[in-house]
Structure 1
Amino acid sequence: MSCLSTTIADWLRQSGQSTDQAAGLALIGLGANLPSLAGGPSDTLVAAKRYLDGLSAIPVLLSPIMTSRPVDCPPGSPDFCNAVAVVLPKGDCTPMQLLSDLHSIEQVFGRQRSGLRNEARPLDLDLLAFGGAVVDDDKLQLPHPRATQREFVLMPLSQIWPDYRFPGSDQTVKSLLTALSDS
């Protein structure tokens, strides 16, 4: 998959896994800019991690939470809290099954999809990558088509896995973030 950072390698070892398991890891982007039943947006991301733990064979690794300005959102949208989670999907979980599970968690926190693109929401869970899978269909694109262009994805991911390379990319998260910052 890619070189393992100390953070990821340590997390796998502490969870009783070999570093070979990295090839099966999934990355999930978390975002929130409205309150939920858990509280404010940052509280929501912490609470959502507990639900993600239920989808993972080992405890989830959650990046630090950061605040970001809305990107491509309706005017007046509040700032977001963002993080990235690394999970080891259980058993024979497929990317589509994981995506469905993520949508179910969003609903628990009060997300209702109105059809308005990038509207304010109590919780947004994006499947960014699933092992080395490359998927391009109507319901799911992997890796996430805009993940490498979004500071709110790259910044938190760089805190836990700076050497990660999205499938099909020859650049690390750290180098993608540097290039984005320089532009």
Structure 2
Amino acid sequence: MTETPNPNIIDADTLTGEMRPIRRVVLSLGSNLGDRFSNLQGALDALADTPDVWVTGVSPVYETTPVDSPEDASLFLNAVVLADTTLSAHRLLDRALAVEDAFDRQRSEVKNAPRTLDIDLIVVGDRFSDTDELRLPHPRAAERSFVLRPWFDLESDAEIPGVGMVAELLEKTGDEGVVRRDDLVLDLS
């Protein structure tokens, strides 16, 4: 994972002339309420329609057992999206939250409560952040096979900065409760 996938490409802000590097980002999508597949497809479409975000890859869809959720929580559908962006991590987070809200995401005091849509920023270039608003890399991604398995499908040599190689992390977590759904294919049009 590099700060600028192609060091020869830098986007200049047309109003200020400020140069902004293009960063590779990894986002995790999940849904276990409503039409789960439509929620994931809608999230992918919204991300792809975001100015200064270029989706470069979408993983297969996986059906997964909820982790650290209430006992009656339904199975999730999960996928991982790779993109390049010139947006700052905070602007990208704002966009992810807005997309969740558009899909009627209800925030709850209940940890890992069921949700129509969850979009997590896993990695944003080589950025590290440890604030209440944004933690990068995502603090639990290395322990979540529902993130690691689809990401590995896209980039078998991927690395979580400061944590380790996705392949090695997936080997540690295993992929029990993570089932690939080849009958569900997200369309990047």
Tell me which interval the TM-score lies in, with the shorter structure as reference length. Answer: 0.7 to 0.9
Structure 1 residues 105 and 57 mapped into 2: Cα distance closer, same or farther (>3 Å)?
Answer: closer
Structure 1: distance between partners of 2:119 and 2:46: 11
Query: 1:11 matched to which residue of 2?
Result: none
Counterpart residue number, 2:67: 71
Counting only pairs closer than 5 Å after superposition, residues 127-146 of structure 1 correspond to structure 2 as 127-146=121-140
Query: Is the contact made by 1:143 and 1:166 (CA closer than 8 Å) also made in structure 2?
Result: yes
Report the counterpart of residue 13 of structure 1 in structure 2.
none
| Cα displacement string for residues 58-97 of structure 1 (whole angstroms, at most 9, x for unaligned residues) | 23421111000000001100000000101111x3x11111
Equivalents in 1 of 2:30, 2:44: separation in Å? 12
Hey, what does 2:55 align to over in structure 1?
Answer: 59
Q: Which has the larger share of helix?
A: 1
Q: 1:58 to 1:109 in 2, by over 3 A?
A: same
Question: 1 CA distance for matches of 2:158 and 2:22?
Answer: 11
* Cα separation, 1, equivalents of 2:175 and 2:80: 22
Aligned to 1:86: 82
Please report how far the alpha carbon of residue 116 of structure 1 lies from its aligned counterpart in structure 2 after TM superposition. 1.9
The 5 Å alignment of 1:18-167 reads 18=6, 24-35=23-34, 40-55=35-50, 56-89=52-85, 91=86, 93-167=87-161
When you count strand as a share of all residues, which structure comes out higher?
Answer: 2
Offset, 1:172: 1.6
Unaligned regions of 5+ residues in structure 1, if any? Answer: 3-16
Q: Which moved more, 1:19-28 or 1:99-108?
A: 19-28
In the alignment, the residues of structure 2 paired with residue 182 and residue 30 of structure 1 have an alpha-carbon distance, to the nearest angstrom, of 17
TM-score (norm 2): 0.79
Q: What amino acid is the match of 2:30?
A: G
Moved more, 47-56 or 24-33: 47-56
Is it true that 1:175 corresponds to 2:163 in the alignment? no
Task: Please state how far the C-alpha of 1:20 moved relative to its aligned partner.
Answer: 7.0
Residue deviations 1:87-111 (CA, integer Å, cap 9, x gap): 111x3x1111111110000011110
Unaligned regions of 5+ residues in structure 2, if any? Answer: 10-20, 177-189
How far did residue 161 of structure 1 move? Answer: 0.8
Q: How many residues matched? A: 162
Letter in 2 for 1:129: V
Cα distance between partner residues in 1 of 2:28 and 2:76: 12
